[in-house]
C-alpha cells in the first residue's frame, strides 16, 4: 500500500524482483558499458520500473475514483427516484425507502451474498415504480377501490417490468423482483406464481412491503400498530408469505426492539 497504489506497487515489486534476478544471473546484459558498475545499472532499471508502476498506479486510482463517482451518482438517482415514486402515491411517504431498508435487513439475516442484498435493497426502492404509469385519480382515491380500480392498480408490477427492462445492466436482476413483489407463497398473488418459483428477493419484498403498508395510515383506514402488523405477517406465514422469510423478518424485528 506504499504510495496508496496497491496495484502499482505490486507491479513495481514484481518488476524490480525480476530485473534484479535477471541482472544477477546475467551481469552486463542490460548495460554492457556499465558492467563494471552493476549497482548503477540496477538503480536505473529499478527507477524505470518504479516510474512505470507509479503511472499504472495513478491510472488505477483514476479508474477507482471514476467508478466510485458513478456508484455515488447511481445511488443518488435511485433515492430521488424512490422519493418520486412515493410522491406519486402521496399517502406512502418514504414507504419505498423503508421497504428497501427492511428487505435488506431480512436478506442479511438470511445470509444472502452482498450482491443479492444490494439487488433486494434496490428493488425495494423501485418496487412500485409501475405506479407512475397509473391514474392519479385511482392512486389518490380517498376511499376503498372498486374491482375495476383494483384491476388497474394491479397492473403496476407489469408496468414496473416494462419501465425497468430497457435499463438492463445493474438493474437486470432487480426487474424480476419488482415484477413479482405481489406474488403470494400459496399461488394466490397477481400472477399465480407459488413457492420457490417466486424469486427469493420478491418473497422478501412481499413481507417488507406488506408490513410497512399495514403500519401506514391511509385516508380510509388507520395504520395498525407494529405489534398487530407483526402478528398478521406471522398469521400469513405459509399462505401469503414464505415461512422462512417470516422467521428472518421476526429476527429483524426482535433485534430492532432490543436496540430501541
Closest approach, Cβ 178 to Fe ion, in A, equals 9
How far is Cα of residue 157 from the mean position of the Cα atoms in its chain?
Answer: 19
3-state class of 241 per DSSP? strand
Radius of gyration of the chain (CA): 28
- Binding flag, residue 128, Fe ion (CB under 5 A): yes
Closest approach, Cβ 172 to Fe ion, in A, equals 20
Specify the stretch interacting with Fe ion by CB under 5 A; choose among 124-132, 169-177, 213-221, 224-232: 124-132
Cβ pair 41, 30 in contact under 8 A:
yes
**Backbone phi, then psi, for 181, in 5-degree steps?**
-75, -5
Q: Which is nearer to Fe ion, 128 or 183 (CB)?
A: 128
Specify the stretch interacting with Fe ion by CB under 5 A; choose among 13-21, 48-56, 127-135, 167-175: 127-135
Q: Which is nearer to Fe ion, 183 or 242 (CB)?
A: 183
**Backbone phi, then psi, for 237, in 5-degree steps?**
-65, 130
Q: Which is nearer to Fe ion, 128 or 179 (CB)?
A: 128
Binding residues for Fe ion restricted to 141-170, rule: CB under 5 A: none
Closest approach, Cβ 181 to Fe ion, in A, equals 6
- If residue 54 lies in a helix (H) or strand (E), which one and from where to where? helix 38-88
Binding mask 163-202 for Fe ion (x = CB under 5 A): ----------------------------------------
- Binding flag, residue 89, Fe ion (CB under 5 A): no
**Backbone phi, then psi, for 243, in 5-degree steps?**
-60, -35
**Backbone phi, then psi, for 241, in 5-degree steps?**
-120, 155
Closest approach, Cβ 146 to Fe ion, in A, equals 19
Query: Minimal CA–CA distance to 216: which of 134, 111, 95, 121?
Result: 95
**Binding footprint of Fe ion, residue count (CB under 5 A):** 1
Specify the stretch interacting with Fe ion by CB under 5 A; choose among 1-9, 12-20, 120-128, 218-226: 120-128
The cell for 238 is 405459509
Dihedral, CA atoms, 213, 216, 218, 220, nearest 10 degrees? Answer: 90
Q: Which is nearer to Fe ion, 19 or 178 (CB)?
A: 178
Residue ranges binding Fe ion (CB under 5 A):
128
Amino acid at each position: 500500500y506504499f504510495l496508496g497504489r496497491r496495484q502499482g506497487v505490486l507491479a513495481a515489486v514484481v518488476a524490480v524482483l525480476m530485473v534484479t534476478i535477471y541482472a544477477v544471473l546475467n551481469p552486463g546484459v542490460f548495460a554492457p558499458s556499465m558492467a563494471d558498475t552493476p549497482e548503477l545499472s540496477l538503480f536505473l532499471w529499478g527507477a524505470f520500473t518504479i516510474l512505470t508502476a507509479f503511472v499504472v498506479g495513478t491510472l488505477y486510482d483514476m479508474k477507482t475514483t471514476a467508478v466510485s463517482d458513478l456508484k455515488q451518482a447511481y445511488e443518488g438517482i435511485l433515492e430521488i427516484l424512490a422519493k418520486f415514486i412515493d410522491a406519486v402515491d402521496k399517502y406512502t411517504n418514504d414507504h419505498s425507502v423503508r421497504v428497501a431498508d427492511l428487505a435488506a435487513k431480512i436478506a442479511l439475516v438470511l445470509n444472502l451474498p452482498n450482491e443479492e442484498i444490494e439487488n433486494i435493497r434496490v428493488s425495494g426502492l423501485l418496487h412500485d415504480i409501475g405506479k407512475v404509469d397509473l391514474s392519479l385519480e385511482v392512486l389518490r382515491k380517498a376511499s376503498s377501490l372498486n374491482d375495476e380500480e383494483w384491476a388497474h392498480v394491479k397492473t403496476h408490477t407489469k408496468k414496473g417490468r416494462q419501465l425497468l427492462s430497457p435499463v438492463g445492466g445493474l438493474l437486470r436482476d432487480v426487474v424480476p423482483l419488482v415484477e413479482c413483489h405481489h406474488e403470494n407463497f400459496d399461488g394466490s398473488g397477481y400472477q399465480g406464481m407459488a413457492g420457490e418459483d417466486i424469486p427469493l428477493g420478491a418473497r422478501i419484498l412481499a413481507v417488507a412491503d406488506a408490513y410497512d403498508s399495514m403500519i401506514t395510515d391511509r385516508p380510509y383506514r388507520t395504520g395498525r400498530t407494529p405489534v398487530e402488523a407483526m402478528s398478521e405477517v406471522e398469521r400469513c406465514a405459509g399462505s401469503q408469505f414464505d415461512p422462512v422469510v417470516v422467521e428472518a423478518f421476526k429476527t429483524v424485528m426482535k433485534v430492532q426492539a432490543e436496540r430501541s
